[in-house]
Each structure stands twice: as C-alpha cells, then as structure tokens.
Amino acid sequence: MSGGRRPDEVIVEGVMTTLGKEVSDRSLPQRWNIAPMGPIVGSDWARLRLRPFKGSVTYHNLVRTGQGVFHVTDDALLIARTAVGHVPMLPEGEWRPAEAVEGVVLTGACRYYELVVESLDDRGERATVEARVVAEGRLRDFLGFNRARHAVVEAAILATRLMLTGPQPILDAFMRFDQIVDKTGAGSERQAMAELRRYVEEAEGPPSGA
C-alpha cells in the first residue's frame, strides 16, 4: 500500500480552515486561517488523516482547539492562493460559523466536513492527525477538474516547495502548466497561474500561512 494507506483510501486536495485564539462570532474574520490540505480519506469519509507541517498555522491551531473544517472545492484559484498565503479577507456571505465545531465554513465550497481531533502524533517533521467527522454538508455541485485545474493544483504544490528546490525548477515546470491552462482553462485558472508565477519570482522562502 502506498504511504501506509488502505486500498480504499485516497489523498484528496482541498482547503482547511482552523481558528487561532479564542474568538467570538464577531471577530471570526480576523482569527481564522485558510490553508491547502490533502488529507487521506476512506470511501465513507468518516475520518480524515491530516499531515500538517509542525511549523504551520494549521498545526498550531489544531493543537490549540482540536477542531477544524475541511472543504472539497473545485475553485483552483482559491487553492493556489491558500498555497502561497495570499488569500484576501473573504467578505461576509462567503463564510459562516461551523455548526458542530469551533470553526468556519466557506460557503463557496462544494462540500465541507467539520472535524474533531482524536489523536495527534508529532514525532516526525509532519504531524499525523487523526480526525473524526462530526458534521458535513453539501453546498453546490462539484463542477469538476479539467486539465487546467489539475495543472493549477500541481503548480500550487510546487510553489510550496520553493525553499527545497529554488525558483528555477518550478518556473521551468510552470512553462508546461501555462500551456495546459491556456488551452483548457478559463480566466480564474489563468489568474491563478499568474499569481503563482509572481510568488515564485518574488518570494525568498516558502509560504508562511499554510
């Protein structure tokens, strides 16, 4: 089994929201963090295995609250922005408080899963967090990922490895992704690639907001 996964388990790329300091509903927009996350999930979606880096905001928030919300989305631009920590403050109406946990639901997502942490092992570089789904919801149909959206997700993952590889290998890979996005994508995918390219060209290190 790849990476210790069961035959029915896959890694699903999405977006995670967690809360920092103790908050009230009124102060939620200033206190929650959005980050990309690729949990390991089974076919029943009853539990998610998260692998956040120990230096990340997501890890520290999960340690503090033991709660969070994972979102399945086909919004490649949002995934790209979360990967490099460039998410603008979302206006009221694009988020709401979670129902069963201390957290935030992004109302533009396709599905969401409210989670509570059952165990956390942080002996490695990345923590292993076993979380149980306590509430879930469907907000809209999943439009799907065409080649352009897949390319943006792969480009976003590469951008998070800037410190490990340096900019040039990433920019070289972006040339191939640009061709795919130009051929099969829409304006949002082109915007995502432009923002990722600008980040890699200008940044001196990895994103700090994941």
Determine the pLDDT at residue 89. Answer: 76
Looking at the structure, tell me whether residues 83 and 21 fall in a common domain. yes
Structural domains of the chain, count: 2
Tell me the CATH number at 189: 1.20.58
207 within domain boundaries: no
Q: Over the stretch 147-167, which tens digit does the pLDDT of each residue have?
A: 999 999 999 999 988 888 899
Given a contact cutoff of 8 angstroms between Cβ atoms, the answer to whether 12 and 38 are in contact is yes
Q: Percent of the chain at pLDDT above 90?
A: 70
Does residue 130 sit in the same domain as residue 152? no
- How many C-beta atoms lie closer than 10 Å to residue 11's C-beta? 14
Residues 107, 31 share a domain = yes
30 confidence band (pLDDT: 50, 70, 90): low
- What number is the average pLDDT over the span 106-123? 96
List, for residues 47-83, the tens digit of each pLDDT value: 999 999 998 999 999 999 999 999 999 999 999 999 9
Collect all residues with Cβ–Cβ distance below 8 Å to 149 and sequence separation of at least 6.
Answer: 74, 76, 185, 189
In this structure, what token pair is assigned to residue 158? 């590469």
pLDDT at 148: 94
- Structural domain containing residue 112: 2-138
206 burial (CB, 10 Å; 0-12 / 13-18 / 19+) is middle
Higher pLDDT among residues 157 and 207, named by residue? 157
In a domain, 190, yes or no: yes
Task: Single out the residue in 138, 158, 190 at which a domain terminates.
Answer: 138
